[in-house]
Structure 1
Amino acid sequence: DPESYLSTSPWQIMSFEAEQHYKAALIEDAFELHDIVLPDPIEVATDGRVSHYRNKVEFSFFGFEDTESNYEYLKLAFFQRGGKGKIPVAACSLLPASMMDLALDICAYLESVQVTARQLKTLLIRCDQQGNCVWQLYIKEEACGFMSEHEAAGFKAQGGEVIYSDPRSPASRITKRLLSVGNVVLTDTILGVPFRYATEGFFQVNIPVYEQALSDMKQWTKSEAPIVDLYSGVGSIGLTIGGDACTLIEIDENAVREMKRNIKEQGSGAIAVLAPSEKALDYITGEEIVIVDPPRAGMHKDIIDRLLEVTPSRIIYLSCNPVTQARDVALLAKKYGIRAHKGYNFFPRTPHIEHLVILDRKDTFLA
């Protein structure tokens, strides 16, 4: 992607072998910042696929006018890395062909009816592992006069929506759904367990590598202890490896709604709790195995304090930011040691790396 790689995947400049090496080095450096020496050589798991792996993309738009004909051309675009400028794109090596083709078709339609970039925010597209796509077009106007239900249903997708997003905010947030066609809820299977999730909701971008991480995590949940899954999203960790005695805690109302539907459809005995993880500390009693998969900022201090207070025997910590993970592990080191750890290359050709740490209470190392 010579035009856009700096915006999407700047590590295209190196071989995949070099990328794997440097990602292991990033993990090592993050822990050394907190004077933590990881007990084993750092392994970075991958399925070997370096392109067409993403199941989600968000495009901006770039418009320019032919001054002679007054015709406005419309292009898909990504923002420049570290800036506010836009880069027009017609291809992206990280995306399956079905997603890129759908995005180009929607953009071509919008151009044909002379919708301008100024009227639009973003185009969000997600697909499941079978290649079924759902799209959401976020616009800055409260009426959708440029597209009918019939026209919206004509794109090669299982469903789509036009959404008014308040232009006073630069973020593509749902203010009002203006038009909806087809089935806009996606379904994927993770370790044999089906999950429903909303197009705009959080779900893993690279499911095959995510399944590798879950399989590894599952090896550390084989005791009879119940599970508490913090920052649980739609439940893709707890509902695959947590068993029926699992409590899932999530702050996002839409994610919890899908989680409850997943629990019902799976016939699981798991419990869904709508709350910020740091406000649900009573669910951490010390009798459970605690699983955490926090945002890039890491765990809330109140959660760390609670873990140190009640000392569950094991903490399973999956992180999208080894720097904040290392910070949290250093704080927990008063009572916990690292039993195992492993990296996962969820996002090939980018600097991002996931890291799993298994923390066991120090007295169990002597058992």
Structure 2
Amino acid sequence: MKRIPADKKHLQNISVIDIAEEGKGVGKSEELVLFIEKAVPGDVVNVELLRKKKNFAEAKVTELLKPSEHRTEPFCPHFGVCGGCKWQHMTYDAQMLYKQKSVTNALERLGKVDTSGIEPILPSFETRYYRNKLEYTFSNKRWLTDQDMQSTEDHQMNALGFHVPLRFDKILNIETCYLQSNPSNEIRNSVRDFALEQNISFYDLRAHEGALRNLIIRTSTTGELMVIVVFAYPEEGQVEKVMRFIQERFPAVTSLLYIINQKKNDTIFDQEIEVFAGRDYIFEEMEGLTFKIGPKSFYQTNSLQAHELYMITRQFADFKGDELVYDLYTGAGTIANFVAKHVKEVVGVEYVPTAIEDAKINSGINNIDNTKFYAGDMKDILTADFVKEHGKPDVVITDPPRAGMHADVVARLLEIEAPKIVYVSCNAATQARDIALLNEKYEVKRIRPVDMFPHTQHVENVVLLELKDQTGTLDGE
């Protein structure tokens, strides 16, 4: 970005008119679009430019001249430094307004979809403590806040918390996180304090050395609790010491696990899991179904809202009981098992083999015998021969990753011509791109955004597409 002359760094009376996905307010000054840290639509502010390109600049508020009606006081002391909860300075009603707007804009602009009939976004039942999984990082390079810098005290440089945005080697020490219910905060703080007392080294993200690397905490609505400690290069006896401390301090932990990860990245999917105490899994429940959640299992991180999302998916499909359903990107088979009792058969496909094993286990636990699951790359699995073997689906449910569906998968769906497609997405932009391709044979009939992650820009969206007949109208009309 361009260097900004000192006499052009400050702009006055900027009206904030929108909010960007990364949580920055959007304003305009002449021909320049401004992305303003911690600004809320409706604010009028004076700003200082930080970085500038030809048509836009990044800025920070130097004076709040008129606060927006949508502005509220953030409840987390880490707001603005921590990389999460970037919309916490905006009322929840306003968050819903702008999430709905983002879905509408993406579908209209990228998918050429008529959104006049879009249904209102479903708010989250809980706006705090809604996550069932958090992953913290140990680091010997703590991020020092402005308050820390003003203090004359010597600072403890070991930290356990979250990465600071754009600084992979800097970790913000977290005292209280409002994303996961207790005893999550107590476990994190106790483990950190114990490690400091015992002089157990925290990981160096640049040098790749140190004993303690990550702490993962998973909870469930059943009250069960999983704690995973990831070590890198522990000294003799340190693993036993840390794990024994957690076991004795928190006897309610259902699943106490550890991993030795000496790779350059934090992923645990290729790592061996060691059970220190309890089971190697916890149970989650949803609408009378039981789901086994292991350390590597995928499960929607907002359990209560996941139930609402799946109910909307089922409602859009409007099952009669005799349908063959394809569940693409099935993950651990949560949606497949959720709808199984309402249909004739569900065929699930997923790229990750361990997720497919979880899906099969979850069918078995719930005595579901009308599901089949297959592991492999979607574009390679979903072939004409696959459809010939399993039958043409009456309904396709697809819930792809943020990148959306591969073009070959979209092409295959156009060939299959299932009467209905229910498209669940965590990225309205890629969803809109895919819908534009499906428009050749499908028409959008229903749209419903769902808020899974309060105080963030992220939003799920469910779209029902129905097959057109050869005259361009819908079957049955």
The answer to whether TM tops 0.5 is yes
The structure-2 alpha-carbon separation of the partners of 1:99 and 1:37, relative to structure 1 and needing over 3 Å to count, comes to same
Match among 147, 154, 161 for residue 77 of structure 1 = 161
Match among 91, 95, 99 for residue 15 of structure 1 = 91
1:134 offset after TM fit, Å?
A: 0.6
**Counterpart of 2:331 in 1: which secondary structure?**
coil
Q: Which of structures 1 and 2 has the bigger CA Rg?
A: 2
1:200 aligned onto 2:296 = yes
Alpha-carbon displacement from aligned partner over 1:35-80 (angstroms, at most 9, x marks no partner): 2222413411024421111111011124379xxxx99764322111
Alignment partners' CA distance in 2, 1:137 and 1:185: 15
Residue in 2 that maps onto 1:145: 237
1:253 aligned onto 2:328 = no
Residue in 1 that maps onto 2:194: 109
The structure-2 alpha-carbon separation of the partners of 1:116 and 1:254, relative to structure 1 and needing over 3 Å to count, comes to same
Contact 2:128 2:178 survives alignment (8 Å): yes
> Please, what TM-score do these two structures have when normalized by structure 2?
0.71
The structure-2 alpha-carbon separation of the partners of 1:317 and 1:242, relative to structure 1 and needing over 3 Å to count, comes to farther
1:2 aligned onto 2:103 = no
1:338 aligned onto 2:449 = no
Alignment partners' CA distance in 2, 1:203 and 1:154: 28
Alpha-carbon displacement from aligned partner over 1:214-268 (angstroms, at most 9, x marks no partner): 1122122413221111111111101011335111112222212221111112111
Residue in 1 that maps onto 2:374: 273
Alignment partners' CA distance in 1, 2:141 and 2:357: 42
Residue in 1 that maps onto 2:70: none
Residues 1-367 of structure 1 aligned to structure 2 (within 5 Å): 1-5=76-80, 6-34=82-110, 35-63=112-140, 74-84=158-168, 85-118=170-203, 119=210, 120-141=212-233, 145-148=237-240, 150-156=244-250, 157-219=253-315, 220-223=317-320, 224-243=322-341, 245-269=345-369, 270-282=371-383, 283-284=386-387, 285-363=391-469, 364-365=474-475, 367=477
Looking at both structures, which has the greater relative contact order when contacts are Cα pairs under 8 Å and sequence separation is at least 6? 1
Contact 1:98 1:133 survives alignment (8 Å): no
Contact 1:45 1:343 survives alignment (8 Å): yes
The structure-2 alpha-carbon separation of the partners of 1:176 and 1:264, relative to structure 1 and needing over 3 Å to count, comes to closer
1:172 offset after TM fit, Å?
A: 4.7
Across the two proteins, how many residue pairs are aligned to each other?
363
Contact 2:399 2:423 survives alignment (8 Å): yes
Moved more, 183-192 or 276-285: 276-285
Alpha-carbon displacement from aligned partner over 1:12-50 (angstroms, at most 9, x marks no partner): 010001000000011011112222222413411024421
Alignment partners' CA distance in 2, 1:27 and 1:209: 18
Task: Name the aligned partner's letter for residue 228 of structure 2.
Answer: Q
Alignment partners' CA distance in 1, 2:400 and 2:102: 19
Alignment partners' CA distance in 1, 2:265 and 2:319: 46
1:344 offset after TM fit, Å?
A: 0.4
The structure-2 alpha-carbon separation of the partners of 1:197 and 1:276, relative to structure 1 and needing over 3 Å to count, comes to farther
Alignment partners' CA distance in 1, 2:155 and 2:88: 36
Alignment partners' CA distance in 1, 2:104 and 2:404: 17
**Counterpart of 1:104 in 2: which secondary structure?**
helix
Alignment partners' CA distance in 1, 2:155 and 2:439: 63
Alignment partners' CA distance in 2, 1:208 and 1:71: 40
Percent identity between matched residues is: 23
Alignment partners' CA distance in 2, 1:214 and 1:64: 41
The structure-2 alpha-carbon separation of the partners of 1:256 and 1:41, relative to structure 1 and needing over 3 Å to count, comes to closer
The structure-2 alpha-carbon separation of the partners of 1:103 and 1:287, relative to structure 1 and needing over 3 Å to count, comes to same
The structure-2 alpha-carbon separation of the partners of 1:55 and 1:227, relative to structure 1 and needing over 3 Å to count, comes to same
1:126 offset after TM fit, Å?
A: 0.6
Alignment partners' CA distance in 1, 2:229 and 2:114: 47
- For structure 1, list consecutive stretches of 5 or more residues without a partner in the other structure: none
Moved more, 122-131 or 15-24: 122-131
The structure-2 alpha-carbon separation of the partners of 1:360 and 1:144, relative to structure 1 and needing over 3 Å to count, comes to farther
Alignment partners' CA distance in 1, 2:125 and 2:289: 24
Task: Name the aligned partner's letter for residue 128 of structure 1.
Answer: S
Alignment partners' CA distance in 2, 1:277 and 1:101: 42
Alpha-carbon displacement from aligned partner over 1:246-301 (angstroms, at most 9, x marks no partner): 11112222212221111112111211212222222144453331111110000111
Task: Name the aligned partner's letter for residue 153 of structure 1.
Answer: Q
Contact 2:350 2:378 survives alignment (8 Å): yes
The structure-2 alpha-carbon separation of the partners of 1:177 and 1:141, relative to structure 1 and needing over 3 Å to count, comes to farther
Contact 2:340 2:368 survives alignment (8 Å): no
The structure-2 alpha-carbon separation of the partners of 1:242 and 1:359, relative to structure 1 and needing over 3 Å to count, comes to farther
**Counterpart of 1:237 in 2: which secondary structure?**
helix
Task: Name the aligned partner's letter for residue 59 of structure 1.
Answer: Y
Alignment partners' CA distance in 1, 2:292 and 2:373: 15
1:174 offset after TM fit, Å?
A: 4.5
